[in-house]
Amino acid sequence: MNLLLYALFGTCTGAYGLTTSSQLVKRDDAGLSIPKYRISPIDGSKIALPTKEQLAWQDNEIGVIIHFEIATYLSVDGCNNIPNLLPNQSLFDPTLLNTDQWVDTIKSLGAKYATLVAKHNCGFTTWPSEVTIETRDNETIPYNYTIAQSPVHGKDVVKSFVESADKGNIGHGFYYSLMWNNFLNVQSGDVITSSWTPGQVNITNSTYNQVVLDQLTELWTQHGNLTEIWFDGGYTESQQANIQNLIETHQSGAVVFNGCQTNGTCISANPVRWIGTEDGAAPEETWSSGVTNDGGDPQSPFFCPAECDTTLQTGDRWFYGVNQTLRSLEEMKDVYHKTVGHNCVLELDLAPDRSGLIPSNQVARYKELGDFIKSCYGNPLAHEMTRNDKGVYSFSFKKPTSIDRIVLMEDQTNGQVIRSYQVFAKIAGSQASHGDVPYTLISNGTSVGHKKIDLLENAISVTDVLVNSTYVDTPKWRSVSVHLCDQ
């Protein structure tokens, strides 16, 4: 089942380009978030400004999202939309649990951060939450649907994951679903009263919001600084103010996925947006600014870069599926080119199996993909480069050189300013010209942003490459490189 089936109001409406590390959301009198932007010296348009956290996050290029909790032991892909499903905690029995093995796998892919599902929609927590619940009979009982009540009591997946991530020098973040909790009979943010299942706890809506805050406090205060906070399907209006406070107090440097609503209310100064699909393909034209769950909008005053979450398993399967096949290496290369290569951070699913390990076929596929990326993009073909004051970027090879792709990166420190670009090359042996220059247009496009990768249909032999652009301020190319990967 689709993890983001419910991400209905997960549009992003705010970035507030403060440059200090303590990011606070600024609001106008109506309560709407105030974006930070500057005015184009060329055409007067608005140029959205990023926070340094958003830029650092885009630099990661690849992260993973780890689905591992009691749903790992179900045949269905989570408790989503099955309100009376309350899996027995005795199912959770990862006898070989080894989060170092997860991190080794993540590193072999080349991912720079990992976001762990700490609680999904069943309500089970993979850390021994010590939160208590006030029932409607005014009894105080423990939140006892956790790893501490499972066969592996004494272990703490969250803590162990964070330690492994720290050791492996990758960032860590948490996913905690705010809108669903079968243990507490919560669906779409509300405690429902129409149906009950044995084991569910009878609470009020305000108690639910308190439990959420208490558990987020546990997660956000005991595990250092988070790279990313993931809200799947958003949050309710009654949760919003408290959660925003909690973020500002404890995790102001984290980027927040789905942290904003369409009308301009946002709970973080570092929002990132969902690209709108889970198949691992951003539109070719994907801007770092914009508020909607799509390719974004170059005119938007809100810097709010996109994240592309997708699975390695086939069939949109997020939790480990017995006998679930994997997407091929060729398909995953395509995913890489259509996410990272389209200015979208790729967040690839990682699904440890019931023993607590990443299965060997998955380990192999992540590594194959990581190896491909390294070998194809790790060493650009050598060249000498010049850049003129109009942002034209050019370089020459000493002898004709075969290339089959181009990687463009824009310096977005002062916002994304390139609006379109053209890549020209002097093709060896060709008399073709463009205007009065002996160049051929070999690729072109609109948004560059953090990264744009253009694949050529066939390898061509070139002696010179020139990149030209249209822009709302003189562009600072971060890099332009050419590569030959498919010999």
Ligand X SMILES: *[C@@H]1O[C@H](CO)[C@@H](O)[C@H](O)[C@H]1NC(C)=O
Closer CB to ligand X, 14 or 370, in the complex: 14
Closer CB to ligand X, 373 or 472, in the complex: 472
Which CA distances in Å does 70 have to 122, 149, 443?
Answer: 8, 12, 48
Q: Min. distance of Cβ 447 from ligand X in angstroms? A: 9
Closer CB to ligand X, 43 or 374, in the complex: 43
Phi (first) and psi of residue 482, to 5 degrees: -120, 155
Q: Min. distance of Cβ 336 from ligand X in angstroms? A: 22
- How far, in Å, CA of 12 to CA of 273, rounded? 5
Closer CB to ligand X, 224 or 400, in the complex: 224
Q: Min. distance of Cβ 323 from ligand X in angstroms? A: 4
Evaluate whether 257 touches 228 at the Cβ level (below 8 Å).
yes
Closer CB to ligand X, 431 or 487, in the complex: 431
Place of tokens 């929609």: 121
Count of CA atoms in the C-beta half-sphere (13 A) of 126: 28
Closer CB to ligand X, 84 or 88, in the complex: 88
Q: Min. distance of Cβ 198 from ligand X in angstroms? A: 6
Closer CB to ligand X, 193 or 458, in the complex: 193
Report helix angle 237-250 to 205-221, nearest 10: 20
Q: Min. distance of Cβ 299 from ligand X in angstroms? A: 16
Nearest Cα residue to 120 out of 162, 195, 84, 66: 66
- How far, in Å, CA of 71 to CA of 86, rounded? 10
Q: Min. distance of Cβ 182 from ligand X in angstroms? A: 13
**Two tokens at 202?**
């009878």
Closer CB to ligand X, 204 or 375, in the complex: 204
Q: Min. distance of Cβ 145 from ligand X in angstroms? A: 7
Contacts of 331 (CB under 8 A, 6+ apart): none
**Two tokens at 155?**
């272990």
H/E element holding 165? helix 157-167
Q: Min. distance of Cβ 30 from ligand X in angstroms? A: 6
- Residues in contact with ligand X by CB under 6 A are 21, 30-32, 88, 90, 136-138, 141-142, 144, 149, 190-191, 193, 196, 199, 202, 204-205, 224-225, 237, 253, 261, 263, 265, 322-323, 420, 437, 444-446, 466, 468, 470
In angstroms, how far is CA 371 from the centroid of its own chain?
21
- How far, in Å, CA of 260 to CA of 262, rounded? 7
Q: Min. distance of Cβ 487 from ligand X in angstroms? A: 27
- How far, in Å, CA of 192 to CA of 201, rounded? 11
Closer CB to ligand X, 58 or 443, in the complex: 443
Could you count the other beta carbons within 10 Å of the beta carbon of residue 270?
32
Place of tokens 């107090």: 249
CA dihedral 364, 370, 375, 381 (to 10 degrees): 170
Nearest Cα residue to 357 out of 64, 66, 145: 66
